[in-house]
Structure 1
């Protein structure tokens, strides 16, 4: 019985010791943001003393990252950003500042002290912290007397980010919003605010907005269209179309697509810390790819192509080199943008198919000769096209039906020299047609003589 009374007394003493702390926590002044859609709470306490500290209670679903900032916009705002640690069992909290509408960088001058109770609990980020030297920063400060201090919040995409680095790369936010916070309501006895679902001293500025990274998406889509659709189609056109203008037009279209993709890629590079300096493999290889693209564009020019017969032969090699370089560049771009493994594997498979198809087709075209090259070769050797011969015979028959004498039409179709042989005269009379097999319009023994169809062949 005595042991029971002693244990009961100890429990009462412990409870009496905890009650003041609980009462103090409940009496801590705080301004609180609470978003019902995500059950996100951000509470702020500003002590009345001269320490300059700021106490924070911050909880939100464990997305890839979530952040709250002091300011009207991202530029020059001091932000508190949370994301999972490397092992996924704890939370990494990074104080950051952005110099524009871009990924914020770690702000090392803020001294954030993480307190007990911080971590990931039931798939929710929980932050209990006191920030020393956080009321003033470069180009910004917390106005502790402002009853409507501008604030911002944002949520990252759903894919997981796990890192212990305070400057870990962040993907663009998918949802964001603005609100104002009453700093007078947050002033009082210093301490971490309690968890609550009731907003206090906060007014939302519109609803939660959805964000789209359209420029980055357009950069990827336009680049893939140029490489995986227009490029192999242009190889087919070069091999099987006699009209070189179609090939030139498609080549110009590919060049325009690539220029647009390059421009979009450069513009989006300034939005992320990992690409601002243009030192990633994706960016370096993209600039290297400009050299063979420029060479392909300039080599067909007559002043250059006339310098050496070897110059036109470089075209196929440069095309293959450019295609391989661009496909590798795209793969490095997916890695730079932190895309998922299935997307990278699918890209690699499509790239392998396109490169193999284009290389095989170019090899066949090189051995056989393109349709344009074969056509120009026949014209240079003075050979006539079979279609032109058929049309000539057709118009000759039309003339015969229109009343023209047969002898005149035969004379027009008859070669001027070297057909009947030396020393044999031809009679212009109508009876000479009997000496021509097929009347000069149907194929005959000329195939044996390696002559063109439709050419009159005489009997001796």
Structure 2
């Protein structure tokens, strides 16, 4: 009797346990499509509520500078959710953005996003739990609940933290990115935030992770620095110490080509970022201001213009200094615009001070002694020869003068001997005498330190 009662109690307990377990599973099971990337332990899951237009989202990923997931085949016309640390670094800022091209997406205030409990940074991992009330339709895009191959994109920012509370904070270009497609039908069901998972579910296809490069911005910076810090000092050395002005002109043209290419690359790269699309940043303003002195520096040395006023040739050196100053400031502001790291900015500052000081000292030296071309031009204007030609001409003139003097000396001695009243050794016999060796300083002696004509006294 007691054993039968015990068996019945045990059976009842098992039935109650199975009921509660099934109920608990039913409560914890939420329809979702999940993408999981083992390399970074990134999970993105979403649920499409079957009785509303809400979309429930669960995202976890390493705390890079930013992480983004988007609905769309590419960045163009995609709705993206960007997550990055807040200003204190103890929570996350979630920014819904829409991109109109393959450029930095723009914050969209039309997307209504409710941040749910559990969102934050845990063990250096972003955790996002949210409900989006307007994520099914956006400008030039929508979510198709019946699609089995909904295109999706994702991207990771560089390692440097962003740390901002602003939903429209400027983003650095992504370091890596990828694509995948999802089965939307598996995500339709009872509304709720999907549960954590370590495997993909409902993923139709997946492309490998791609490493990105910002080649335009990098080339813009490198070419600009080469023109300012390498070619510019060399050109000043050529202008100061070489008489052939054509070498300086050719080198100046090469520098202008570098600067023009750098400007073109900068303009092309500006369209990729929200902070530079309007061309109103300090970096771009200084770059535009530098165009005027650069044009004057290129045009004023031309002969039709350089001969208009006497001060125009003298304005060349101050204009060059002004151009260099503006370009160095422009480069420093460009590093700030691109959110470069502090070591890079300090290195640029040190190089700028070193190069500017060297160029200033070099210009003072050239200005004090005059450039080689200016000295050669002055000699030609005064009727002198070039240094090498002048030395050769002086050598042959001296040889010719010495030959003429030798011939004149011989002729004078012969004439004097024929006219003097004594002959041979008469000077030894008490006749007339020649005092002091027989010479008197003449004009040629005073000018050239050569003997004149013999003179005698009776």
Normalised-by-shorter TM-score class: 0.7 to 0.9
Q: Which residue does the alignment assign to 1:333? A: 334
Residues 370 and 268 of structure 1, relative CA distance in 2, 3 Å threshold? same
String of CA shifts for 1:120-174, please: whole Å, max 9, x gaps.
Answer: 0000000001100110011000011000001100000001110011100000001
Superimposed CA distance per residue, residues 94-139 of structure 1 (whole angstroms, 9 cap, x where no aligned partner): 1000111110001111110000000000000000011001100110
Q: How does 1:346-385 map to 2 (within 5 A)?
A: 346-385=347-386
- Tell me the SS of whatever aligns to 2:280: coil
Q: Secondary structure at the match of 1:154?
A: strand
Give the whole-Å Cα distance in 2 for the aligned partners of 1:16 and 1:96. Answer: 46
Question: Which whole-Å CA distance do the structure 2 matches of 1:135 and 1:410 have between them?
Answer: 100
The answer to whether the aligner puts 1:41 opposite 2:43 as a matched pair is yes
RMSD of aligned alpha carbons: 2.9
1:311 alignment counterpart? 312
- SS in structure 2 of the partner of residue 120 of structure 1: strand
In structure 1, runs of 5+ residues without a counterpart are 1-14, 397-408, 435-444
Q: 1:31 aligns with which of 24, 30, 33?
A: 33
Equivalent in the alignment of 1:400: none
Structure 1 residues 146 and 459: CA distance shift in structure 2, 3 A = farther
Query: Aligned equivalents of 1:428 and 1:241: distance in 2?
Result: 43
Q: Superposition pairs for residues 63-82 of structure 1, below 5 Å?
A: 63-82=64-83
Query: Deviation of residue 341 (structure 1)?
Result: 1.3
Residue 429 of structure 2: aligned partner? none
Q: Look up the match of 1:142.
A: 143
How far does the alpha carbon of each residue in 1:407-453 deviate from its partner, in whole angstroms, 9 at most, with x for none?
xx999x459xxxx9xxxx97979968x9xxxxxxxxxx99984x8xx
The CA distance in 2 between the partners of 1:316 and 1:101, in whole Å, is 44
Partners of 2:445 and 2:452 within 8 A in 1: no
3-state SS, counterpart of residue 39 of structure 2: coil
- Distance (Å, rounded) in 2 between the aligned partners of 1:263 and 1:152: 30
Distance in 1, Cα, partners of 2:238 & 2:444: 34
Go from structure 1 to structure 2 and tell me whether the alpha carbon gap of 1:33 and 1:414 turns closer, same or farther (over 3 Å shift). Answer: same
Change over 3 Å in CA distance of 1:265–1:349 after alignment to 2: same
Structure 2 CA distance, aligned partners of 1:230 and 1:457? 53
Q: 1:76 touches 1:97 (CA, 8 Å); kept in 2?
A: yes
Residue 24 (structure 1) shift: 3.9
Q: CA deviation at 1:384?
A: 2.6
Aligned counterparts of 2:275 and 2:283: Cα–Cα separation in 1 = 11
Tell me, in whole angstroms, the C-alpha distance in 2 between the residues paired with 1:25 and 1:330.
59
Whole-angstrom distance in 1 between the partners of 2:370 and 2:445: 25
Matched residue, 2:152: 151
Q: Distance in 2 between matches of 1:447 and 1:202?
A: 108
**CA distance in structure 2 between the aligned counterparts of 1:257 and 1:382, rounded to whole angstroms:** 40
Whole-angstrom distance in 2 between the partners of 1:264 and 1:134: 36
- The CA deviation string for residues 315-358 of structure 1, in whole angstroms up to 9 with x for no partner, is 11111111111101111101010111111111111111111211
3-state SS, counterpart of residue 90 of structure 2 = coil
Secondary structure of residue in 1 paired with 2:333: helix
Alignment of 1:113-192 (within 5 A): 113-192=114-193
Q: Deviations over 1:339-388 (max 9, x none)?
A: 11111111111111111211221122112110000011112212234422
Structure 2 contact 42–61 (Cα < 8 Å) conserved: yes
Query: Distance between the aligned counterparts of 1:142 and 1:217, measured in 2?
Result: 37
Within 5 Å, which residues of 2 pair with 1:428-439?
none
Q: Is the 8 A contact 1:238 1:244 kept in 2?
A: yes
Q: Distance in 1 between matches of 2:324 and 2:303?
A: 24
Equivalent-residue separation in structure 1 for 2:266 and 2:226 (angstroms): 15
For the residues of structure 1 that align with 2:384 and 2:263, how far apart are their CA atoms? 46
Partner SS for 2:312: coil
Q: Where does structure 2 lack aligned partners over 5 or more consecutive residues?
A: 1-16, 414-442, 454-458
User: Contact 2:146–2:185 (CA<8 Å) still a contact in 1?
Assistant: yes
Give CA-to-partner distance per residue, 1:285-309, whole Å, 9 cap, x none.
1000001000000110112111111
Work out whether 1:87 is the aligned partner of 2:97.
no
When normalised by structure 1's length, the TM-score is: 0.83
Distance 2:222 2:116 in 1: 46
State how far apart, in whole Å, the 2-side matches of 1:18 and 1:358 are.
Answer: 83
Equivalent pair of 1:25/1:192 in contact (CA under 8 Å) = no
Give the deviation of 1:183 after TM superposition: 0.2
Q: How many aligned residue pairs are there?
A: 408
How far did 1:206 drift? 2.2
Distance 1:192 1:174 in 2: 29
TM-score (norm 2): 0.83
CA distance in 1, matches of 2:398, 2:311: 47
